[in-house]
Amino acid sequence: MTEPGAVSAVAGDHRVRSPAAGAPAADGRRRMTLNGWATVAVFLPPALLVFTVFVFLPVVEAGWYGFFNWDGYGRPEKVIGLKNYEWLFSNPAFQRALVNNGLIIAVSLLVQLPLALGVAVLIAGRMRGAVVFRLIFFLPYVLADVAAGLIWRFMLDGSYGIPSLFTDMLGLQPFYLLASKDWAFSAVLIVTVWKYFGFHMMLYIAGLQGIDKEVLEAAKMDGASPWQRFRHITLPLLGPMIRLSIFFSVIGALKFFDMIVPLTGGGPFNTTHTMVSFLYYFGLTRMRIGFGSAVGVVLFVICVTFAFGYQRLVMRDD
């Protein structure tokens, strides 16, 4: 609620300041412009250079390579038009990767965010031990993705991991979760939620702490039930934070990669790839740089469309 006001205040500031700067005599304005240019000359080139060399050029190059059948050696010469894209969309592993990315987004939004919000509401207050719980829930996020993936690979192993506890107890055959094409991706989803919900929980805790206690107390005095207070006060006031959390979730899901490699390596039968791991395994390790670039372009288009669309449509007031 306060944020939109803050934004317009800043915008208003600009509007007020520029005519004010223009108001003094002509030489005053020239000095301002000179100063402005000096600032631009000092601060813009490094940023522009870094952005151009490391962001803009690679994106353009990837778009260019996408039209070639190129193994990365020498110069790309064999133009094949849109063939890379044709092969890409007819590749069952890529189709599955798209579905998997969708699943990660769905689980992030429908399981991870409610969970993070619920836990945040429980431990945002100044109750005893809240800090300890925050730390515990946040720890997985601090852990390096690859390390976490390796740990879970051991924990999910059929011979000595968690599944073996149950299968041994019930006298069943050992069950190898990560070797099953029906279950391996579920394991990835569980680990994802475990790993990242702590981050979103922290976002919500920060948001909750920003809510004015007096509003909640006033509602309490008016006889609002805890659920009503949550539904009609906490949730709307958390709006900007929830929208931000959704944004991070979706972008995080789209570029999800680190955990796949140690956990499943995309297997079994290439059923657990995401778009990025598909790019890595089918583009880079196979030295099909043209094909990999095409994957990159598709990923780029999806990410940019989402990022700009979401910022424009959903986060425009935040």
Exactly one of 104, 205, 288, 293 binds another protein (CB under 8 A); which one?
Answer: 288
Exactly one of 17, 30, 31, 181 binds another protein (CB under 8 A); which one?
Answer: 181
CA distance 17 to 11: 10
170 is a site residue for another protein (CB under 8 A) = no
71 is a site residue for another protein (CB under 8 A) = yes
142 is a site residue for another protein (CB under 8 A) = no
Exactly one of 63, 69, 239, 300 binds another protein (CB under 8 A); which one?
Answer: 69
The one segment of 6-14, 70-78, 113-121, 296-304 that binds another protein by CB under 8 A: 70-78
63 is a site residue for another protein (CB under 8 A) = no
Q: Binding-site residue total for another protein (CB under 8 A)?
A: 28
x/- contact string, 241-280, with another protein (CB under 8 A)? Answer: -----------------------xx-xxxx----------
Exactly one of 17, 30, 231, 286 binds another protein (CB under 8 A); which one?
Answer: 286
Exactly one of 146, 284, 301, 314 binds another protein (CB under 8 A); which one?
Answer: 284
285 is a site residue for another protein (CB under 8 A) = yes
CA distance 76 to 166: 54
178 is a site residue for another protein (CB under 8 A) = yes
Question: From the CB of 86, what's the least distance to another protein, in Å?
Answer: 10
Q: Residue numbers of the site for another protein (CB under 8 A)?
A: 69, 71-74, 83, 87, 157-159, 173-174, 176, 178-179, 181, 264-265, 267-270, 281, 284-288
